[in-house]
Structure 1
């Protein structure tokens, strides 16, 4: 009997080289210095506007930073799709292009805009790179402290500082429900669901919302909190953080089942330290699985 040997496909190389990753980080840092930090705690009333509602803010800093970053990426990657949150706000059809893009940059120029607009320093800049919607690279940058977490889908994520300091990231250990701390964005759920989600919160040791996906994902990736549940699925909020947490050892899955990717529009991502803890949390939030 002749045995056949199955040849597995070769793994894809990193979507960005080390030099390209450094370039992307520097693009964010330059935009922060030029367009974001000079406006922090220095916004005039005319610099703040609303989008979908009174709590969905956009500032002159969001618009200027996104324009600067988009120009820099378009120059370096002329064949790539570049999707910014503010560009999608102006033209929602842009988001439809992510699924068919072999290389897409997905950008949130200021995540936590409400915090930024009100002078709170809990905001960040998020950039993800996807292949046909699947996250392949992510960086979450803190402009105030000039540090970032970064990873691609082939390596261990790192916390880095401008002076060359770097350390690997690892999520926390799994725990029982009553010992878990995490992030639940209560205000992002409909009023009907908000009541049900709020009823789960006493089950945990501690639950917060920073109103900033950037810092929530950073905190989980560094092992300082145990889980994060999404209220919405905007890819500029989640693609980078979901990848970084997964590479740091977390179990990342949609509550309805299946992997997360940046093309999804409905559902909820749940990030937990391991599959066992994820399953425990899944039981608590089971009512959201079909939402």
Structure 2
């Protein structure tokens, strides 16, 4: 379906992590970490080196695909605009959770998605420290796969009442006027946390350890892989206005839950924008 061998792409993420990311973990030198848009928006030598390696190999295995990497877009913002009109694209986040990585915290990942005719058709989240992948192709289910070839089919948690829900909410990019109310509303659920890393949060969700994920800022490299994996694991995924989340969307918020009823309850009682 993807036109790109998903296992080849998955192994490429692993190779980039082993060559460029893990050797730099907790070993970044002076000048290896820089701020981009603000003090908490960081880029490291690992991000840039890993993306270069992945980009060059994608150009070899999928020369007809647009490559959209987080650091490539930072250098050329117009690249993001091309995603909406392209036939086929590979979207990559070389180090998701850069703030954690730069801080020496082991909560980061490498992510990729394949978009075909405006639709996400494959998603991969690789965990460099655990050395395994979350992988989904549209219509084929979602799986945890290991280098030895073993795999486990993923499934989201069973729905629970609002007061028992455990999940992750990224509140840093909420509208200033709405943020106090939503933070207060989060008292209605059992737990609300944030790992500052979508790769880790989607893993918890599709493993059945969370009942919701909420994000307000939508960059394709952060959410295209995870939303497809979540949907293939049985999740209900929609923007906060109820519309479908598409690769071209960068705003409108996102809410991921085990079913539609949980989505409706959270949208009504907690995430009232």
Instruction: Indicate the TM-score class for this superposition, using the shorter chain for normalisation.
Output: over 0.9
Instruction: Name the counterpart of 1:85.
Output: 70
RMSD: 1.1
Partner of 1:11: none
TM-fit CA distance, 1:286: 4.9
* Higher alpha-carbon deviation: 276-285 or 136-145: 276-285
Give TM-score scaled by structure 1 length: 0.91
1:194-229: CA deviation from partner (whole Å, max 9, x where unpaired): 212211111111111000001101111111111100
SS in 2 for 1:215: helix
2:38 counterpart (35, 47, 53): 53
Indicate yes or no: 2:187 matched with 1:202. yes
After superposition, residues 151-190 of structure 1 pair within 5 angstroms as: 151-190=136-175
Please give the per-residue CA displacement for 1:101-136, whole angstroms capped at 9, x wherever unaligned. Answer: 121101000000000000001000010111233211
| 1:142 aligned residue (108, 122, 127) | 127
Q: 1:73 aligns with which of 58, 66, 83?
A: 58
Distance 1:39 1:85 in 2: 19
Q: State the alpha-carbon separation in 2 of the partners of residues 287 and 47 from structure 1.
A: 40
Q: Describe the superposition over 1:243-276 as per-residue Cα deviations: whole angstroms up to 9, x where unpaired.
A: 1100100000111121101101221111000011
The answer to whether the Cα contact below 8 Å between 2:239 and 2:254 also exists between their aligned partners in 1 is: yes
What is the SS of the residue equivalent to 2:15?
Answer: helix
Which stretches in structure 2 are left out of the alignment for 5+ residues? Answer: none
Partner of 1:15: 2
1:193 Cα offset (Å) = 2.8
Distance 1:50 1:269 in 2: 26
Partner in structure 1 of residue 29 of structure 2: 44
Aligned to 1:104: 89
- Structure 1 position 16, deviation (Å): 4.0
- Residue 223 of structure 2: aligned partner: 238
Offset, 1:285 = 3.8
Rg comparison, structure with higher value: 1
- Identify the residue that residue 250 of structure 2 maps to in structure 1: 265
Q: Tell me, which stretches of 5 or more residues in structure 1 are unaligned? A: 1-13
Cα offset, 1:188, TM superposition:
2.8
CA displacement 1:146-203 (0-9 Å, x = unmatched): 1110001120100011112210000011111101011001223243332122111111
> 2:9 maps to which residue?
24
Answer yes or no: is the 8 Å Cα contact 1:98–1:132 preserved in 2: no
Aligned length: 273
